[in-house]
Amino acid sequence: MDGPVQSSIRTWLRRIVRFPEPINQERKVARMKHRVMMAALFAIITSPACAAKLSGSPHILDANTIEIEQTRIRLSGIEAPETDQICLDAHGHKWACGVAARDALIRYSNGRTWDCQTAGVDKYGRSLGSCFIEGQDMNAWMVSSGWALSSASSTNIYVIHEVRASNAYAGLWSGAFIAPWDWRRRNKGTIIVGVSSVPSDAQELLLGSALLSEPPSPECLIKGTVDRNGKRIYHLPEQLSYGQIDMTKKSAERWFCSEPEAEAAGWRRATR
């Protein structure tokens, strides 16, 4: 159950400075506080959210997030497109590459059992994990199949798989696209990549204000918005606020295919 979170905490624990020797009642209070602190840190180390082994047939929320035994797991070390991400194919036409990446993972999984080892959580509370199907590294499979990139913040253990995918023009590499981490904060200066030449109108097609005016798929009708206070809120078609939202206004607004997917990404349901 060791992982980077646990190792860093244990290192910190070894460096804790001992409390000075207070007198009488002060000594008892200090020792009690010390025991409480040590117990709390031990609970963090042994928490299933920090490190756990999970097995089962997962519910796949998007190309980067699955759920096993009510635990949401984000595949670590890789970055897959969001379900509303749009790419360009070999002919320069737009296609819903985020939905395609998710569906490719669903097809390959095909109801089989996944074995996942988690270590730590992300800022949305999802466990970070490496997962396997019959011994095959699924994190690596997503990258080698062209449906994900090696994470820019990782140790680049999947870079060789990314090179193979680009050489084979697989998945996203069949045309032009925006790296997933850039898609989430895209603007007019965002770089568009691809193995072959990027179409001259790629900027307009992938960064234009009308890009997400329509959902990427008929199943992805949930609207996600960010309010003035930075709160992420999603709206269902049957809610009163739904029709008032113009999805061409801000790049921070996005489409979701399901409530679990929206919640796993850090959005919360609108009250009306």
Q: What is the pLDDT of residues 46-66, one digit of tens each?
A: 344 457 899 999 999 999 999
Task: Report the pLDDT value the prediction gives residue 232, as an integer from 0 to 100.
Answer: 92
DSSP code, position 1: -
Sequence-distant (6+) residues with CB within 8 A of 36 are none
Task: Report the pLDDT value the prediction gives residue 53, as an integer from 0 to 100.
Answer: 93
> Rounded CA gap, 93 and 106, in Å?
24
Task: Check whether 203 has a pLDDT greater than 70.
Answer: yes
Q: How many residues does the chain have?
A: 272
> Rounded CA gap, 55 and 6, in Å?
22
The per-residue pLDDT for range 62-110, each reduced to its tens digit, is: 999 999 989 999 999 999 999 999 999 999 999 999 999 999 999 999 9
> Rounded CA gap, 269 and 222, in Å?
10
The per-residue pLDDT for range 147-167, each reduced to its tens digit, is: 999 987 666 789 999 999 999
Task: Check whether 212 has a pLDDT greater than 60.
Answer: yes
> Rounded CA gap, 90 and 94, in Å?
10
Task: Report the pLDDT value the prediction gives residue 154, as an integer from 0 to 100.
Answer: 61
The per-residue pLDDT for range 223-244, each reduced to its tens digit, is: 999 888 889 999 999 999 898 8
Task: Check whether 179 has a pLDDT greater than 80.
Answer: yes
Tokens coding 209: 């204000």
